[in-house]
Amino acid sequence: MYTIYHNPRCRKSREALQYLEDQSATLKIVNYLNEPLKKAELKAILNQIGLQPREIVRKNEADWKSVPNRNELTEDQILEVLVEFPKTIERPIVTSNNKGVLARPLENLISFMTEH
């Protein structure tokens, strides 16, 4: 079972979803813009993919650029921004069996599925 944290408007996210479907993967699709993640959920996902909050920030998003002192925030404060403004989360993220990957580029997902 794979869970994809998906934004249907994002080409990279659609490509990852298509790849998973082409592999006949059992899927759970979470549209995190419609179903916002709670702080604990996002923290658990970050633990699964082995990244810190600042590593999954979409730095060109207007919501991120509007955050005062954004370059001085702690990881916990960045996590709160990501929860408040889900568009700032880099996508797609795919998890399975307590492990996961930021599936951008798609090769990351291909490697992840090969290893798991």
Sign, Cα dihedral of 25, 15, 98, 87: negative
On whether the CB atoms of residues 2 and 93 are closer than 8 A, the answer is no
Angle at which helices 39-49 and 75-84 cross, to 10°: 120
- Would you call 10 a catalytic residue per the annotation? yes
Marked catalytic residue, from 10, 46, 57, 93? 10
Angle at which helices 106-115 and 11-22 cross, to 10°: 30
Which two tokens mark 66?
């509007």
Residue positions annotated with a catalytic role: 10
